[in-house]
Structure 1
Amino acid sequence: MHKYLRAVGFSKTPTRKEIFNFIQSGLEKPAYRAYTTNDADPDSLLAQFDLPLGKNFGLCVCGQFDDDDEFYPEYYYPYLDTDRISSAEDVTFEKRLDNNSYAGVCDDLRVGVTLIFRLRNYIEYLKNKDRQSQDTENGRIVSSCSLSALSLEGSVLMPIYESEAERKSKKSTEIKRRKLMTQARDGDEEAARTLSSAEMETYANILSHIQYEDVYSMVDSYLMPYGAECDLYSIMAEIKKVRRAGNSLTGEEILILTLSCNGLYLDLAINSKDLFGVPEAGRRFKGIIWMQGKVNFIDQEPAEKEAGNNQETIV
C-alpha cells in the first residue's frame, strides 16, 4: 500500500481488495485520462487515469493496454492537483528505474535548492519530448510548473512579527538576492563573491542570536531535502489559504493548504487528524512533504473535454 494514502483520507489502511474495487469502478468515470504509444512494446499503450476522491485529489492509476484493449494496472499513488503556477524556470526530466514514471527537476532561485518532484502528467511529456530538438527556443519545451504536495504529519506555528518597514526591506533584499543569483549562475564572479559575503554575514548574525532566541523566531521559511528519497522535503512556509474537503469514500476531512515558501507557491494536502494546531492564513506550516507537480508545455493545445461527463482526455 502507498504510504501517503493517509494524506488523502485513508487513515485506516485499505485492503488490496478495497483498492482493487475502487480502481475497477473508478476507471469508468475518471477525472482525467491519457494515452500514448509504448516505445518498448509497439503492441501496447501507456495509460494514466486520475480517479477522484474529492475536488482536485484522488488516486492516480498507471498501466498499459494490450493489443486486445485490456488494461493492466502497474502502480498507483495518491495525488493532489493545483492550477496555480509555482515556477517559470525550466524543468528537466529523469525516468525512474523501477517503472514508467518520471521525475521533474527544477532549479528555482527563490528556495536555493533543486526541486525534484514526481511528474504527474508524464504521458503529456512523452508526447512533447521530441519537440526539444526541433522548433522550441533553446530546446525548452516547458513554460512553467504547478507544484503540490502530500504530508503525513505537520504543525502550525505562529508567524514572526514584522513591521511594515521590515517587510519592505525584506522584499527588497530578496529581489536583489535573486538578481545576484541569476548573475552568478551566468558566470558573474563579482555577484558570486557578493552572495558569499552576504551568506557569511547571515551565518554570523544567526550565531549571535541563537544563544537567546528560538530558531523559529529568526527563520520564517525554509525548504530542504529530507531523507533518502529525492522528492521528500522538510518545509516551513506561510499559510496563504485553507480549504477543507472530504474523502468521498471514507468521509475523512482533508485540509488543503496553499503555502508560500520564500515566494514559491504550492498546495498541500494533509489529513486533519495529522495536523497539530489550527491552520489560518498568516500562520506557518512545518512538516515533511512528498512533492508532486505538473508541467505546462510551450504552445500546448488545450486538453479536449468529453461531452457530458466533464472528463479530461489526452490522446
Structure 2
Amino acid sequence: MHRYLRAVGFSKVHKREEYEALAQFTAECYQSEETTVTAEGEEFSERRKAFADQMGLLARGVYDENDEYHMDYCIPYFSGKTERFYEDMTIERQAEKEAYCGVCDDMNLGVTLIFYLQNVTEYLNKRRYGRSDSFSASLILSGLSVEGKILMPVYQKTPVVSEIKSNQERSRMIQAARNGDEDAIENLTLEDMDTYSMISRRIADEDVFSIVTTHFMPCGVECDHYNIMGDILDVELRENSKTGEKIYVMTIESNSIVLDVCINEQDLLGVPERGRRFRGIIWLQGLVHFEEKW
C-alpha cells in the first residue's frame, strides 16, 4: 500500500484489500491512457484517474500478447503549475520496476535535485529513437505531503530586491565553483562560515525558525523525499470526488524554488494563508516537458 494515498484524499484506505480494490477501479475506470514499448519489447501503459483537479491515481502495467492488461502498481500523483527550465537533466530507471527518477542540478540549492518522474511513457517514447540520456527541459515540480505545519512569517529587514540580488549572486558563484573557480569556492566557504557564526550567536536567544526562514533538504533514506519550509504564495482547497475529503493545495517558495504541494486537511496543523510558512516532508514528483528536438 502506498503511504501517500492520503495526500490525494484516501486517508481511510488501510487494508490491502481496500488498496487493491481502489487500484483496480483506477485501472478499469481510467480517464486517460498513454502507451509505449519498453526496451524488453513489452507494451507499457500509464492509466490516469483524476479525483480532483490535477490529482488522482496513476496505474502502470503492461499488455500481454493477447492484448490483455496486467497492472503492475498504482500510485498517487499530483501535478503542479509552475514551470522551470533545467539543463543537464538525466533520468534513471529504478531497479525493481518500470519507474524512473529525474536528476538535475539546482543552483539555488547548490545540490542535486532528485524527483519521481510522472510521465514515464513520454520519456520512453523519446528513448526509443536513441536520444541522449542528458538533456535540457522544462520541469514542473510538485510535492505530496502527509504531515505538515503552518508557521507564522518572519519580519524581514532586508529589502526583497536586495535578497533577490543576493540569491542570484550566490547561484552564479555556485555555478562558477562547479566549473573549478577557486575564488568562488573560497567566497562560498567564507559565506558559509559567516552564516554558521551568525546562527551560533543568535540561537541562544531566538527560536531556530526565526533565524532559518526557509530550507529545502533531503529527508530519510529515499532520495526523492525532502523536508521543506517556505513561504505560502497561494492556497486552494480541493475535494476528492470519491471520498469527499478536503485537500489543501499550496504554492510554496522554498530556497527560491517555487512548487505546489498538496496535503490532506486532516494532516495539516494550522490554517494556511498567503504570507504564512509551511513546513513538512514531501514526496517530490516532476512532470518533464520534453522538447521536440531532444
Give the structure-2-normalised TM-score.
Answer: 0.93
Aligned mates of 1:262, 1:214 — CA distance in 2: 19
Structure 1 letter corresponding to 2:256: G
- Greater CA drift, 86-95 or 186-195: 86-95
Counterpart in the other structure of 1:53 = 51
Once the two structures are TM-superposed, the CA of residue 93 in structure 1 deviates from its matched residue by 1.2
Once the two structures are TM-superposed, the CA of residue 168 in structure 1 deviates from its matched residue by 2.5
Once the two structures are TM-superposed, the CA of residue 166 in structure 1 deviates from its matched residue by 3.0
The 1:38–1:17 alpha-carbon spacing in structure 2 relative to 1, beyond 3 Å, is same
Structure 1 letter corresponding to 2:287: K
- Greater CA drift, 245-254 or 165-174: 165-174
Once the two structures are TM-superposed, the CA of residue 90 in structure 1 deviates from its matched residue by 3.0
- Paired residue secondary structure (1:141): strand
1:97-176 counterparts in 2 under 5 A? 97-129=95-127, 130-133=129-132, 140-163=134-157, 165-176=158-169
- Paired residue secondary structure (1:146): strand
> Conserved in 1, the CA contact under 8 Å of 2:86 and 2:137?
yes
2:238 to 228, 242, 245: 245
The 1:91–1:31 alpha-carbon spacing in structure 2 relative to 1, beyond 3 Å, is farther
Counterpart in the other structure of 1:72 = 70
Gap runs ≥5 in structure 1: 134-138, 302-315
Structure 2 letter corresponding to 1:189: E
The 1:13–1:23 alpha-carbon spacing in structure 2 relative to 1, beyond 3 Å, is closer
Deviations 1:50-86 (A, max 9, x none): 1111110001100101111111000111110123214
Aligned mates of 1:100, 1:218 — CA distance in 2: 43
2:209 pairs with 1:216: yes
- Paired residue secondary structure (2:159): helix
- Greater CA drift, 165-174 or 267-276: 165-174
Counterpart in the other structure of 1:4 = 4
Once superposed, what is the RMSD of the aligned Cα atoms?
1.9
Structure 1 letter corresponding to 2:149: S
1:279 to 265, 272, 281: 272
Could you tell me the percent identity over the aligned residues? 40
The 1:183–1:81 alpha-carbon spacing in structure 2 relative to 1, beyond 3 Å, is same
2:216 pairs with 1:230: no
Structure 2 letter corresponding to 1:13: V
Counterpart in the other structure of 1:306 = none
> Conserved in 1, the CA contact under 8 Å of 2:90 and 2:134?
no
- Paired residue secondary structure (2:221): coil
Gap runs ≥5 in structure 2: none
> Conserved in 1, the CA contact under 8 Å of 2:37 and 2:124?
no
The 1:61–1:202 alpha-carbon spacing in structure 2 relative to 1, beyond 3 Å, is same
Deviations 1:257-284 (A, max 9, x none): 1111122111111000110011011111
Aligned mates of 1:60, 1:300 — CA distance in 2: 28
The 1:220–1:31 alpha-carbon spacing in structure 2 relative to 1, beyond 3 Å, is farther
1:205 to 188, 198, 201: 198
